[in-house]
Amino acid sequence: MIVSELRILSSLPEGFLDCGTRDLYRILNGPTLLHLPGDRPEPPLFISTLLHGNETTGFAALQHVLRHFDGRPPRPASIFIGNVIAAHHNVRYLPGQPDYNRIWVEGSDREHAVARHVVEAMRKLDVCACIDIHNNTGRNPHYSIVATRDVRHLALAKKFSERIVFATYPDTSCSVAFSGLCPSVTLEAGIVGDASGVDHVAKYLISCMEEDVWLDDDVAEIDLYHTVAVVRVKDSCSVGILGEGTDVELLPDVDNLNFNMLQPGTTLGKTRNGCGDCITVHTENPVMDWPDYLTVDNGELKTARNIMPAMLTTDCGIVKMDCLCYLMERLA
């Protein structure tokens, strides 16, 4: 069945378990919601993957899990396979497409309609939990993201990693949209191609299908961080690596700084002519401005306070498509 560009299936299509992400479009042809029955009559677990076409760990882990259960998991599972056309080209999204993790709010694009249908379908099925699976392009440890500090959301996140980020921005993401329906988490499973990421996600999904992990109330031993700002490079400015002559030049190993508490004055890169006009910082606190977090000192882009970055990357294409990094502070 096809509803507003969304394909809905009730069984695994032939070839699904053996298909690579670049050939998946031959089987699914577009965004697909796959409802699989389980052995137990329970509300379904919702899993989304390939919202970004070049982040393949989630799909590979799902294939492993479904083979493990011979195609029939213990509890019903509803799986949303997102941007299969971008996956064919191994890119985050194609020119002219929106980012599939920025469509989970009101909007007029057909992709927004797809997201609305997915959320409403899962609301009617009384979804028990939401798991959205992603990769990073820079070196980051595996971690979870939640949009609320409700204990059920934290328990769902802790099962994947004790390193948890509380973030309500961007509020257009899948896990934020589901956070009002059920325990909801985003998994950040490291760099594409790292087998440990696939193994980690697969084991986590198996646990979630076998147990109600979100009912665990032991969430004391966690490292909890709060995203306070997101840093971007303006569309009109170029970005590259140190020595490439771009408007913003990043250190060649800048992603080594991820999830390290940086002291004031830590250098991230350089700006042409010593100007910080190419950098924008969106903060959650309207009282704070970007000079409260970053500064340009003699042409060098530096931290202005104790702060911890995530998602720093040397993939300059991703910097332009998404952001330079997120900035976090530790929560008690």
Radius of gyration of the chain (CA): 20
Separation of alpha carbons 17 and 53, rounded Å: 18
The confidence band for 297, taking pLDDT boundaries of 50, 70 and 90, is confident
pLDDT at 3: 47
Q: Is 70 exceeded by the pLDDT of residue 274?
A: no
Res 315 pLDDT > 60:
yes
Under CATH, which number does the domain 2-221 receive?
3.40.630.10
Span 123-167, pLDDT tens digits: 999 999 999 999 998 899 999 999 999 999 999 999 999 999 999
Overall residue count recorded for the chain in this entry: 332
- Residues 26-83: tens digit of each pLDDT: 999 899 999 999 988 899 999 999 999 999 999 999 999 999 999 889 999 999 999 9
What count of Cα atoms within 13 Å lies in the side-chain half-sphere of residue 261? 7
Query: In which residue ranges of the chain is CATH 3.40.630.10 found?
Result: 2-221
Q: pTM of this prediction?
A: 0.93
**Stretch among 47-51, 282-286, 322-326 having the lowest mean pLDDT:** 282-286
More confident residue, 13 or 274: 13
Q: Which residue did the predictor score with more confidence, 95 or 219?
A: 95
pLDDT tens track for 75-120: 999 999 999 999 999 999 999 999 999 999 988 889 999 999 999 9
Rounded Cα–Cα distance for residues 66 and 73 (Å): 7
Dihedral angle computed from the Cα positions of residues 57, 6, 121 and 92, in that order, rounded to the nearest 10 degrees: 30
Q: Dig out the tokens for 268 from the structure.
A: 């991230």
Average pLDDT score over the chain: 92
Mean pLDDT of 324-331: 94
Q: 243: Cβ–Cβ under 8 A, 6 or more apart, which residues?
A: 249
Triad 141, 146, 147: Cα angle to 5°: 145
Residue 217 clears pLDDT 80, i.e. is over it: no
**Backbone phi and psi for residue 166, each to the nearest 5 degrees, phi listed first:** -95, 115
Strands, E assignment, the chain: 2-3, 6-9, 32-36, 45-49, 77-81, 129-136, 143-146, 163-166, 184-191, 223-233, 239-241, 248-250, 267-271, 279-283, 294-297, 300-303, 308-310, 325-330
Query: For residue 4, what pLDDT band results from cuts at 50, 70 and 90?
Result: low
Q: Give backbone dihedrals phi and psi of 59, rounded to 5 degrees, phi first.
A: -65, -45
Mean pLDDT value of segment 182-199: 96
Q: Whole-angstrom Cα distance, residue 57 to residue 138?
A: 15
Q: Which of 82-86, 259-263, 289-293 has the lowest mean pLDDT?
A: 289-293
What the block records as the tokens of 251 is 């250190």
Cβ-Cβ contacts under 8 Å for 270 (sequence gap 6 or more): 242, 248, 249, 299, 300, 301
Q: Is the pLDDT of residue 275 over 80?
A: no
Whole-angstrom Cα distance, residue 311 to residue 127? 30
pLDDT of residue 71: 86
pLDDT in tens, 201-211: 999 999 999 99
Task: Give pLDDT, residue 2.
Answer: 47
Would you report the helix, strand and coil content of the chain in percent, each value rounded to 5?
A: 25, 25, 45
Least confident of 64-78, 140-154, 173-187, 271-285: 271-285
273 φψ region: left (φ > 0), alpha (ψ -120 to 50), beta (else) = left
Mean pLDDT of 158-177: 93
